[in-house]
A and B are shown apart, each in its own frame.
Chain A
Amino acid sequence: MQKVDLAIGILGFVALTATALGVVFADDIAGLQDYAFEESFVTIGSSADTPVGSNGVEFTFDLDDTPNATMGKFTFAFTENGRSQLTDGDASYTITITGPEGTMDTFEGSFSGNEDVVVDTSAWAETPETQGLTEANKDSLSFTWMEDVTITVSVDAPGSQIPLGGASPTYSVTVSGEALVFEAVPATPDVEVA
């Protein structure tokens, strides 16, 4: 056998070995990661029509099914039945977002009739060292933002007149969110010779 054929044989073996090593140890060989964000739109939940009563009404939504995501924007679509805005004025809302370590954010305001209220929490993504997301989580690429997170929506409608028939005004709310989904992506180097 000529030396060149031997060299080709050896390099062929090296190539096969490199392929096998690459396939088997791909994750170990892979390097540092960046974190990319992708926007997606999810509906978190809808409540039933609920009478407001004199003490207000409270709705609770759990965010358990959106792993690796932080919501950039929540939309609360309020529906009001049986109340006169003309005579009774606006209803008020309090939105509390609670994480595993306590209250993360609170929003208050008022709405009139059927109205969408949008709260923007996109600033959370700028400071991911917040509840559920520690440095250890970041390195192991698991973001626990939205586990053990609860959204509580309280609605108060003082001064409601009991309309004919004696039924209390009812409210429902549908919560949807524009999520910023974290994805671990390779940190692409900017090569000079290209």
Chain B
Amino acid sequence: MAGARGGFNSRFGFIMAAVGSAVGLGNLVRFPRELSESGGSAFLLVYLALLFIVGIPAILAEMTLGKLSNSSPLNAFRKLGGEKGKAWQLVGILGMFGAVFVMFFYTVLSGWALRFFFETFRDGWWDAPTTLFNSVEFGVWTIFWHFVVVAATVFVVARGVSGGIEKTTVIIMPALFAIVIAIVLFAAFQDGSGAGYKAIFSFDTDALANLSAKDISRAVGQVFFSLSLGQGAMLTYASYMDRKQSVAEDGLTIAFADTGVALIAAMMVFPTLAFAGLLDSPEASSNFGTAFKALPLAFLQMGDVIGRILGAAFFLGLFFAALSSAISLIEVPVSVLVDNVGLKRGKAAILMGLLTYSFGVFAALSPEFLALYDEIAVNLFIVIAVALTTFFAGWVAKGVKEELNSYTSLRIGGAMVWLMRTITPLMILLVFIMGAFVGEDGGFMTDGAGFRGLAHSFRAAFHLE
């Protein structure tokens, strides 16, 4: 039950909030495309292997630190870091900054989804299924929708863990699941949808064999981005867990739920595109193009009534997925302001909302600023934070194995700590090196290298090139 600093009232509430943090736009759009382009179920096997070796140990590491410390990210590392605790706080700071920079642009993306939901009632995307997105993704009105999302997020977080976050996520997450399943079922019965299942589930070993080291490192990165790791979100939420909840059981539930939603979303997106003959269309050649151009075009072909209903439902679901993630992101700095600075929750939420809104204005106007925030978050903060958090949980913090084995019949503590000490942080470190320094052609700092992209985005955002 909730303690003095607030907490979740029920295990279900915690699970919904944490799954909401993990399930985002990437689950609904990015993963399905990744699956279809990288080898179908052959890639899925690789992804699951990476989930077990990297994702699950990493999420359990974050959650254990949160539950053991019952504190915000900064305090967690300080409390559990022993004599060098103050130095280890840096890891908490890295994660928090990662969350903050993601927030700057994530609320813009969420605003897109919310706007498209409302555009259903104005025939916005119905009349211009492939061109509405071009005119609304960046611009003055995008600032407005960005503001609406920030305001909604601040409102939820200000009301507290149980009164705001839990109450909201126990409604929107089941609604999201229902929406996704409804579209999956409808798409399954449409003529031509079979090609969609083939696209995502065929065992394409050729595509798998053509995956480069860079592709594999991207897949590893996708695992922990998908689980919302390295941003302090899981650690913060776990700090609100009831003492008698099992980190192992809940962590596994969250990891499998996140992957499950992504798989079911793939069964929603690709059969729908296949039914409409849009699998190889130019609109479906990018993640956001798939969500905001190809799928509206597909909904258009489902008929006047059904198409509009499913379209509205899809964009509402997309917004719910994005909102639940945004809530967890803003909760990270809010918890730090509450725990470390002693601010009241409401004022802390307003402060972070104003900061998010101000920086986000530029992401609402410029794709370069949006890319810049993403590059900063990934290359400077998140990946390093995940690696160090996992290492910290494996080598520094005391009681991790015991915590993982408590309140459960599962006995995975030993194996998980071994992974946290060895393979997991090493693989994440490799991801960082491959991502930051290696280009698409395998060369050092060539096109596609994260730091090179960061420098380019910086110059482009400020019109220096």
Q: Please, what's the 1-or-0 string for B354-369, where 1 marks a CB less than 8 Å from any CB in chain A?
A: 1101110110111111
User: Which B residues fall within an 8 A CB radius of A?
Assistant: 24-26, 30, 102, 105-106, 109, 130-131, 134-135, 137-140, 143, 221, 225, 286-289, 343-344, 347, 350-351, 354-355, 357-359, 361-362, 364-371, 374, 377-378, 382, 460-461, 463
Beyond A31-B461, A194-B24, whether A4 also contacts B343 by CB under 8 A is yes
Q: Which residue of A lies closest to B375 (CB)?
A: A192
Beyond A22-B143, A188-B288, A193-B102, whether A31 also contacts B367 by CB under 8 A is yes
User: Which one of A7, A23, A32, A191 contacts B351 once the chains associate, using CB atoms below 8 Å?
Assistant: A7
Q: Is the CB of A194 within 8 A of B367?
A: no
What count of chain A residues pass the 8 Å CB interface test?
Answer: 32
Instruction: Please name 20 pairs of A and B residues whose Cβ atoms are closer than 8 Å in the assembled complex, sorted by A.
Output: A8-B347, A12-B354, A15-B354, A18-B359, A18-B362, A22-B361, A23-B143, A31-B367, A31-B461, A32-B367, A32-B368, A32-B460, A36-B131, A188-B367, A190-B286, A193-B102, A193-B374, A193-B378, A194-B26, A194-B287
Q: Is the CB of A183 within 8 A of B134?
A: yes
- Judged by a CB distance under 8 angstroms, whether A30 is at the interface is yes
Q: How far is the CA of A47 from the CA of B368 in the complex (A)?
A: 50
- Judged by a CB distance under 8 angstroms, whether A167 is at the interface is no
CB neighbours of A191 from chain B (8 A): 105, 109, 370-371, 374
Q: Is the CB of B367 within 8 A of A183?
A: no
Q: How far is the CA of A29 from the CA of B355 in the complex (A)?
A: 19
Q: Is the CB of A192 within 8 A of B221?
A: yes
Q: Is the CB of B221 within 8 A of A8?
A: no
Q: How far is the CA of A71 from the CA of B359 in the complex (A)?
A: 42
Q: How far is the CA of A46 from the CA of B246 in the complex (A)?
A: 78
CB neighbours of B368 from chain A (8 A): 31-32, 189
CB neighbours of A30 from chain B (8 A): 138-139, 365-366
Beyond A8-B350, A29-B365, A192-B378, whether A22 also contacts B140 by CB under 8 A is yes
Q: How far is the CA of A188 from the CA of B286 in the complex (A)?
A: 9
Beyond A191-B374, A194-B30, whether A11 also contacts B351 by CB under 8 A is yes
Contacts A15-B354, A194-B287 given; 16 further ones with Cβ under 8 A?
A: A4-B347, A15-B357, A15-B358, A21-B361, A22-B365, A28-B463, A29-B366, A30-B365, A186-B367, A189-B368, A190-B288, A191-B370, A193-B102, A194-B24, A194-B30, A194-B106
